[in-house]
Amino acid sequence: MGRYVLRRVLQMVPVFIGSTFLIFFMVYALGDPVAALFGDKAPDPATAARIREDLYLDEPLWSQYVHYMGQVFSGDFGTAFNGQPVTELMAGAFPVTLRLTVVAVVFEMALGVTLGVLSGLRRGRGLDTSVLLLTLVVVSIPTFVSGTVLQYLFGVEWGLARPSVSPEAPFAQLLLPGVVLGLVSLAYTTRLTRTSVVENARADYVRTAVAKGLPRHRIVTRHLLRNSLIPVVTFLGTDIGALMGGAIVTERIFNIHGVGYQLYQGILRQNSPTVVGFVTILVIVFLVANLLVDLLYAVLDPRIRYA
């Protein structure tokens, strides 16, 4: 187990370097950050040169990357062009997005697994058919549509939630945005759980459990669910990473000052240190989430043993 974790952590290193370099390359290679800094005005050549030198922009790209990474590992993610350190932006943005993600994941996990199990156990009946149909509808509606519609209905029409979230973004205000964020994943979770339950419900060990005279709820929760949740856990694990980085649309709609908002601002203003810094953290979140999923596998399924 320990060796497996070590190996996985070591494998993360090239993945981390590769992905961050790609991000770095794409952000820095496209457009001139110094020109962007000056906006519409043409910069004074001497000043521009000095800024270039200060920011190591006159050096080759790989050396810029090495320099940047060196600073990242000493905790310095650079400063945004407005003078604020990127770490400060992160300290403000990540807790907000984390709260949003928690709301979304709990929502999709609780509702998705429940709906999936219920429809899986009633395969082909009314509930199952309507769940399948509804999830299909949900999957095919893009977030910016569902987000704005729900914002209008709940926030404006019925006044049940705040249409726009305050900068502190407490949990209570993040409920609606969390639901919007988790909506598509909810549909996937439901379908995945349903398929898995349908498949496992015909398994021999479920028949054995029935033959043992176990009550139905015990058969479902102890025997069926445990086996059926293995693929669902994989999906949820990778989804956490996706939700944290992919909240750009949702955060824009509800004016949440989280990771997505900062990334959007960074891209809009060509604010390279912000973009690269945030994405670097997101890469790490992804990698760690995947590692945790793989480790959770071994807990859920004893046939998987890591040597």
Partner 1 sequence: MTTIEKTTSATSRVEESDDGTPLLEVRDLHVEFHTREGLAKAVNGVNYSVRAGETLAVLGESGSGKSVTAQAIMGILDMPPGKIPQGQILYRGEDMLTMSNEERRKIRGRKIAMIFQDALSALNPVLSVGYQLGEMFRVHQGLSKKEAKAKAIELMDRVRIPAAKERVGDYPHQFSGGMRQRIMIAMALALEPDLIIADEPTTALDVTVQAQVMDLLAELQREYNMGLILITHDLGVVADVADKIAVMYAGRIVETAPVHELYKRPAHPYARGLLESIPRLDRKGQELYAIKGLPPNLLKVPSGCAFNPRCPKAEDICSTEIPVLHQVTEQDGTELPGRGSACHFWKETLHG
Would you tell me which residues interact with partner 1 (CB under 8 A)?
Answer: 202-205, 207-215, 218, 222-223, 226-227, 300-303
| Closer residue to partner 1, CB minimum distance, 90 or 121 | 121
In 3D, which of 133, 196, 171 has the Cα closest to residue 256? 171
Nearest-approach distance from CB 111 to partner 1, in angstroms: 24
CB of 206 to partner 1, least distance (A): 8
Coil, helix or strand for 79?
A: strand
CB of 190 to partner 1, least distance (A): 22
- Cβ proximity to partner 1: between 167 and 302 the closer is 302
Nearer to partner 1, 223 or 257 (CB): 223
Which residue lies nearer to partner 1 by CB, 35 or 214?
214
Please give the structure tokens belonging to residue 42: 């043409």
CB of 5 to partner 1, least distance (A): 22
Calculate the alpha carbon distances from 183 to 35, 164, 171, 210 in Å. Answer: 40, 19, 17, 35
Supply angle C-alpha 218, 219, 221, rounded to 5: 60
Of residues 186 and 192, the one with the C-beta less far from partner 1: 192
**CB neighbours of 99 closer than 8 A, spacing ≥ 6?**
169, 170, 171, 174
The distance of closest approach from Cβ of residue 239 to partner 1 in the complex, given in angstroms and rounded to an integer, is: 23
C-alpha span between 118 and 194 (Å, rounded): 8
Please enumerate in sequence order all residues whose Cβ is within 8 A of that of 112, keeping only pairs 6 or more positions apart, or say none: 185, 186, 187, 188, 189, 190, 193, 232
